Amino acid sequence: MNENIIQNVTYPSAYNTALATGSASMQGIKNLQTHNILSYPVEEITQKSNADGTNLRTIKAVLTTYKPTMPVRDSVYEMRSVAPVTGFVPSSPGTVNTASIKKDSHYQPVVSFDSYDGVGNILQEKKVGDALHSYIWGYQTYSSPAYNSYPIAEVVNAANSDIAYTNFESYGFTGYGNWTYNNTGASNDVTAPMGPGCYSLSGYTISNTGLNTALTYIVSFWAKTGAAVTVTGGTVTQNPTGITLNGWTYYEYQASATTSVSVAGTGFIDELRLYPSTAQMTTYTYQPLVGITSACSAKSQFSYYQYDNVGRLVSITDQYGNITKSYVYHYKGQ
């Protein structure tokens, strides 16, 4: 039997937000309207009907809400049903004043976008039934207004307030990846494991405050031969020392029962991480406008990315220089 497929997408202009003060979801739509952002979809509905238009039923629906003060997503809901739904209620109230978005009873939350920075970079999100995902951003632009443009750390199973990361090369003058330190100590060394940026601890201290005393944190870094580094904060224990690459050695500590952690001493360090012991952190460096130049996994294993002179990825190598992937480009017919 022939059937019709109907797809409806509802945009912010379809909503009457006169009573938006009573609902964060309606305030979010009003904020989009105020800033003339009318192309963001609010609700997407797919329906089927008989060829004559009868027996209308909904087979898929997605509803997106937005933050009241920023033009960014707040939550995403999906219709959950084992069978097509008849009598589905769309969210758009049309010309009727309403204090909140209509939400059909078949909608279930699937992901929430918990927090953003001041320019709309996502800092923390979570799928329903899944672990938290948190992000740290770097590579500050120098045009006004300056903002961090690339995600340099992704952490699974930790809140953004419980993580910190810096590779000492991706920041401008503010926002050092939730660490606090004097950028005067930043230095360059082509042997550093995560890009040439590194840090001379001599005369300086790097710290993080506001930690959760109920958590145990991992503090890890790579130190160049000759460095003497001390980690303080609550109860601190040192885990076994890791491998050495090009004169840099991996060190890892655990800190518990503390609201702050400090790293001090002498010599050069790189790839400074802080995260709960139950979380996993992956980090990145970039060549702006080209792509990722290096990545460090949750196991602190490195991958390096090489590009040709027109910015195309040509190879990926591991931390020992072995090629793990290579790419060859040609024009059709060659």
Which among 226, 215, 280, 281 has a CA at the least distance from the CA of 254?
215
pLDDT tens-place string over residues 248-279: 999 999 999 999 999 999 999 999 999 999 99
Mean local confidence (pLDDT), 291-320: 95
Q: How far apart are CA 39 and CA 10, in angstroms?
A: 9
72 close to 39: Cβ distance less than 8 angstroms: no
CA neighbor of 163 nearest in space, from 215, 120, 198, 91: 215
Query: What tokens appear for 256 in the block?
Result: 């518990």
- Angle made by CA atoms 44, 47, 53, in degrees to the nearest 5: 135
Over pLDDT 90: what percentage of the chain?
78
How many distinct helices (H) and strands (E) make up the chain?
Answer: 1, 24
Cα 83 to chain centroid, rounded: 35
Structure tokens at 104: 């059909």
Map residue 126 onto helix, strand or coil.
strand
Q: What pLDDT is recorded for position 170?
A: 77
Taking phi first (over 0 means left), then psi (-120 to 50 degrees means alpha), and beta for anything else, what does residue 287 get? Answer: beta
Size (the chain), residues: 334
Looking at every residue in the chain, the average pLDDT score rounds to 92
DSSP class per residue in 274-314: EEETT-EEEEEEEETTTEEEEEE-TT--EEEEEE-TTS-EE
Residue 180 in this model has a pLDDT that exceeds 90: yes
Q: Give 205-241 pLDDT, tens digit per residue.
A: 999 999 999 999 999 999 999 999 999 999 999 999 9
Question: pLDDT of 15-57, one tens digit each?
Answer: 888 767 768 888 999 999 999 999 999 999 999 999 888 999 9
51-107 pLDDT tens trace: 888 999 999 999 999 999 999 999 999 999 999 999 999 987 554 556 678 889 999
Tokens, residue 230: 């001390």
* Three-class secondary structure of residue 30 per DSSP: helix
Residue 145's pLDDT is 74
Mean pLDDT over 244-248 rounds to 97
Strand pairing report for 313-318 and 323-326: antiparallel
Class of the domain covering 124-278: mainly beta
Question: Taking residues 319-325, what's their average pLDDT?
Answer: 95
Residue where the block lists tokens 């009873």 = 105
Reported confidence tier of residue 173, pLDDT bands at 50, 70, 90: low
Task: Please determine, for residue 1, whether its predicted confidence score (pLDDT) is greater than 80.
Answer: no
Token pair of 109 as six digits: 């939350």
- Please check whether residue 273 is in contact with residue 221, taking contact to mean a CB–CB distance below 8 angstroms: yes
| Residue ranges covered by each domain of the chain | 3-115, 124-278
State the pLDDT at residue 167: 92
Whether 149 shows a pLDDT value over 90: the answer reads no
Give the C-alpha distances (Å, rounded to integers) separating 292 from 139, 185, 194, 199: 12, 25, 11, 21
Alpha carbon distance 288, 240 (integer Å): 35
Q: Residue 282's beta-bridge partner residues?
A: 154
Identify the pLDDT of residue 212.
97
pTM: 0.89
